Amino acid sequence: MLDSSPTSDAAALRPTPMMEQFLEIKEANPGSLLFYRMGDFYEMFFDDAEIASRALGITLTKRGKHLGEDIPMCGVPVHAANDYLQKLIALGHRVAVCEQQEDPAEAKKRGGKSVVKRGVVRLVTPGTLTEDTLLEAGRNNYLASVARLRGGAADGSDRFAIAWIDISTGDFRLAETDQLRLSADIARVDPRELLVPDSFFADDELGPYVRELPVSVTPLPGAFFDGATAGARLAAYYGVGTLDGLGSFSRVELSAAAAALAYVEKTQISERPPLSRPVRESDGAVMLIDAATRANLELVRTLSGERRGSLLAAIDRTVTGAGSRLLAERLASPSTDPEWIERRLDALDHLLRQGRRRAAIREALAASPDLARALSRLSLNRGGPRDLAGIRYSLDAAARLAEVLGGDGQALPDELAEACAVLAGAPHDLAAELAAALADELPLLKRDGGFVRPGYDADLDTTRALRDESRQVIAGLQATYSAETDIKALKIKHNNVLGYFIEVPQQYGERLLGADYAGRYIHRQTMAGAMRFITTELADLEAKIASAGDRALAIEQATFDALLAHVVAVSDALRAVAAALAVIDVAAALATLAETDNYARPVVDRSLAFSIEGGRHPVVEQALKREGGAAFVANGCDLGARKEGDAGLIWLITGPNMAGKSTFLRQNGLIAILAQIGSYVPAQSAHLGIVDRLFSRVGAADDLARGRSTFMVEMVETAAILNQATDRSLVILDEIGRGTATFDGLSIAWAAIEHLHEVNRARGLFATHYHELTALSQRLARLENATVRVKEWNGDVVFLHEIVAGAADRSYGIQVAKLAGLPASVVARARDVLAHLEETDRKSPAATLIDDLPLFAALVAKPAPVVAEDPLGPVLDGLLPDDMTPREALEALYRLKALRPRRA
C-alpha cells in the first residue's frame, strides 16, 4: 500500500519502498506499460495509469504521493487481465507483466516494511502472443525481422533477408530478398510485429517506408542483427555445435533469424518457445504478389479490412484453426512448382471422389483442438489442464484419421500418404496416459485443482477423502474406538483448543486409564461428568485433515508436471501431427468447395499458357447465390502464346462501366492464385502456365497520409509493375491514365501497353475507356481487342456481362449515369451536349498523339474527310445487327431505303 500520510515534508519527498521497486522495474522496461502485481490486481501508476485508463475506459484514481505530487493509479483484475491485454495490444501498446515472486509472508519475515520481491516475467507485444483469447484461430501471429547486407548482391546492391516466427505454433521460416521485392515479401508474411535495425529510420529510402508500414514496427539496436555472431547465436538457441544440421543459410539470412530469436528471448524472459528448426524458402519458390495487388484482389481481407467478402472467406471450408491458417498461408504464397501443385491436386482429387470418407475425415478433424498452440502454451509454462486435454483429443483424432484414410488398404496420393504415416506414428501412449489422468470436467488453470481423474493416484484419492469427507473418516474411527473399548457413549469431538479429541463419560474414563489401554489413550482433560483423551492415530489424522487441501493440490501439481514433461519430450512428434492434421483439413476443405461450387481441376505446367473456359469470380458468384440473384455469367480468357517461342498475349478490353470489366479482370487473377495453391478453380476448364509474379492495378484510391493523389498512387503502382514484370508474369491493369488530362492519360496508357508488349512481354489484361488505344492492335502482334457486350433498349443500356472479341464503339457513360440516379434534367442536358460534340468536326486524340510523337509514327493515318450530314447515320447507329430477328432486320432495311436521299 502507498504511504498517503507522510509525517514530514522530507518524508513526503521520499518514495515508499514499494514505489522505489516500481520505478526501478519501470526504468528497466522502457516503452512498455508495466502491469505491477499487487494481490489480485495488476496496478499501473503515473503515465502508464493515464494511458491505460484512456485506452481501456477504466477509472483513473489517485493514491499516495511521490515527490509531493499525487500518484495517478488504475488497475485491472488478474483473472480478467487477458481481456485488457487484448485491447492494449490491438491499440499498439506493449505490456511488461510484473509478478510477485515470493509469498507475502516471506517478505514479512524480513521486517515490517519489506516489499514482496517482484520481477517482469514476460513482455507482451503484438508478435509474441500465445493465449487463445489474444489470437485469431485462423490467422498466424507472425513476428518478422528484416536484415540488410550492404553491397551483398552480385551487382553491388544491398541484399535483404526476412525471418518470421510464430511462437504460438513454433513455425520458423526465412528467405532472402532484395529492395524491390522487400515490400511484397513483408505483405506476404503479413506480420503482426516487424523488427528492423534502428538505422533503417535514418535511411533516406527505407526510413519513410518502414514508418508507413501498416504493422507494429519495433526498432532494435544494430547488435541484434550482428552478422558476425548470428550463426553462433542461432546454434546456441537450438543447442547444437554447428549449423550444418539446421541447413545452409546466407549471412544476411542468419542476421535476420538471430535478431528474431534474440527478441523472442528478450520478451519471454526465462522461457524458451519450442520453435521448429528454421526452414529456408528458395528464391522464386512462390508467386510474388505485392501489397497493392493483395489489396486490390482482396485475398485475405477486403479493402475495408474485413475478412468477410475476401477470397479467403469465400473458399475456406476448413474445420480447424490450424487448417484455416495453412489455407491462408498458401493463399498468401502460391507455389511456383508444378510438381508440388500436382501433389496437392492429387490429394484433393482423391478426397473429392470419396464423399463418405471425406465426411468422416471432417467429423474427426472437427473434434481436434488446436494442437500446435496448446503445445506452445504448455512448453512456455502458460498452459493448463485444458491444453493437456487438447493434446489428448488431437491424438485421438489422429488415430481415427489414420484408420479412416488407410483402413481399406487403398493407395493414397503422396501428400495424404505422408500425412497418414505421421498420424499412424503419433505418440498414442501419451493419449492413453492423458485419458487416464485427466478428469472429464477441467478447470482453466492448474492452480484451481480438481483436474486429475479419481482412481489415477491412490494417495490423491485418500487425501481428497480427508479433505472432502473428513466427517465420514472421523465417524469411522469413532466406531472403531467404540468397538475396541466397548463404550457405546464414546464420541470424537473437536474444539479450537484441543482440536480432535475422544470424550467418554467419567465412569468409563478410569477404564481407559487402566493397564489394559496403557499408552493407547492419552488423557488430556477431565470435565464434570466426562473425560477427554487423544490417540497418536487421531493426532496424525487431524494433521492430515488440516493439510489435506494443500496436499491434494500439491499432488495434482506434481501430476501435471509429470504429464507436461511427457508432452515436451515428444514435442517434435506432436508438431508433425499438428502439421499433418492441417494438411488433411485443407485437402478435405478444398475438395468440399470443389464439389459444392462446381470447380474444375486445372492443368498447371511450366508453359506460357493461360487458357480459361467458363471462368467465374469465386466471391461474386457466392454473393449472387446468397442474394438469390441472377446466375453469374461465365467468361473465357486465353492469353497463351499463339505459337511456340512467342510470349503471351495482352487483351485490351473496352466497354462501359458497370458492364463487368473489373470483375473479369480480377477473376482471372484469382483463378491463377487458386490454381497455384493447389486448388480446383471456378471454371469449366483451365490450363495455366506458372505465373511467377502477379500484378493488379484495379480501382482508384488516394493516400492522403503520404500526400499522394489518386493519380500519383496509380502511377507509383504502375511503375512498380513495369519495372518488375517478366514474361511469366500476369499483369492486370484497369483504367491507367484516367486520373489526369485526357491527352496525358492516353499517352501514358499507350506507352505502358507498348512497354508491356515489347519489354516485359508479360501476359496481361488492360481495361480502358480510351477507345483510341484499340488502334494499337494493328501494330502490336500480341495485342488483341476484347469488349464487354451491352444492349441498348429504348435509350437505356442492358449489361450482358459477356466478353467478346472486338472493340466498343463508345462508353455509354450517360446511360450509366442515368442508372445511377442522376436527375433527369442533367441526363437530358448531357445527351444534348454529347450530340453537339459528336457533330463537331474534331481531330481525334489518337491522331494528335501520332502526329506529335515519333514513337507512334507507324500508325499515322490520314484525317477522315469532312462529309455532309448523313441522314442514315443516326438510324444506323441505333441498329444492333447481332441482336435483331430476321423480321426486325427486314423492317430496318425498309426504313433505311425510305430515308435514302433521292437524286434530283
Instruction: List binding-site positions for ATP.
Output: 655-662
What is d(CA 765, CA 733) in angstroms, rounded to the nearest whole number? 6
Q: If DSSP codes are grouped into helix, strand and coil, which group holds residue 650?
A: strand
What is the grid cell recorded at 117? 520481491
**Calpha distance 642→620 (Å, rounded):** 31
Alpha carbons 772 and 861: distance in angstroms, whole number: 13
DSSP letter at 139 equals: S
Strand order in the sheet with 635-638: 603-605, 685-689, 610-615, 635-638
Contact 101, 85 (CB under 8 A): no
Contacts of 174 (CB under 8 A, 6+ apart): 161, 162, 163, 164, 249, 253, 256, 257, 278, 279, 280, 281
Exposure on the CB side of residue 410, measured as CA atoms within 13 A: 12
Phi, psi of 900 (to 5 degrees): -65, 130
Report the largest interatomic distance among the alpha carbons of the chain, rounded to a whole angstrom: 158
Q: Which residues, 6 or more positions from 544, have their beta carbon under 8 angstroms from its beta carbon?
A: 463, 466, 551
Distance from C-alpha of 228 to C-alpha of 397, rounded to nearest angstrom:
46
Residues 6+ apart with CB under 8 A from 566: 430, 433
Q: Decide if 98 contacts 37 (C-beta within 8 A).
A: yes
Alpha carbon distance 666, 672 (integer Å) = 10
- Tell me the three cell numbers of residue 867: 462529309
Question: How many whole angstroms separate alpha carbon 393 and alpha carbon 446?
Answer: 18
Length of the chain: 904
Rounded (10°) CA dihedral 855, 859, 863, 868: -140
- Please state, in angstroms and as integers, the Cα–Cα distance from residue 523 to each residue in 22, 274, 491, 511, following that order: 56, 61, 15, 12
Instruction: Please report, in range form, the residues annotated as the binding site.
Output: 655-662
**How far is CA 2 from each of CA 15, 43, 115, 293, 805, rounded to the nearest angstrom?**
9, 12, 11, 56, 81
- Of the chain, the end-to-end C-alpha distance in Å amounts to 114
Q: How far apart, in whole angstroms, are the C-alpha atoms of residue 646 and residue 627?
A: 44
Residue pointed to by grid coordinates 501430476: 559
**CB-CB contact of 671 with 297 (8 Å):** no
Among 91, 2, 18, 81, CA closest to 51: 91
Radius of gyration of the chain (CA): 38
Mark out the alpha helices in 652-741 (DSSP H runs): 661-676, 710-724
Q: What residue has cell string 461450387?
A: 597
Location of C-alpha cell 516485359: 760
Q: What's the CA gap between 351 and 593, in Å, rounded?
A: 11
Alpha-carbon gap, residue 180 to 290, rounded angstroms: 10
In order, the DSSP letters of 73-107 are EEEEEGGGHHHHHHHHHHTT--EEEEEE-S-HHHH
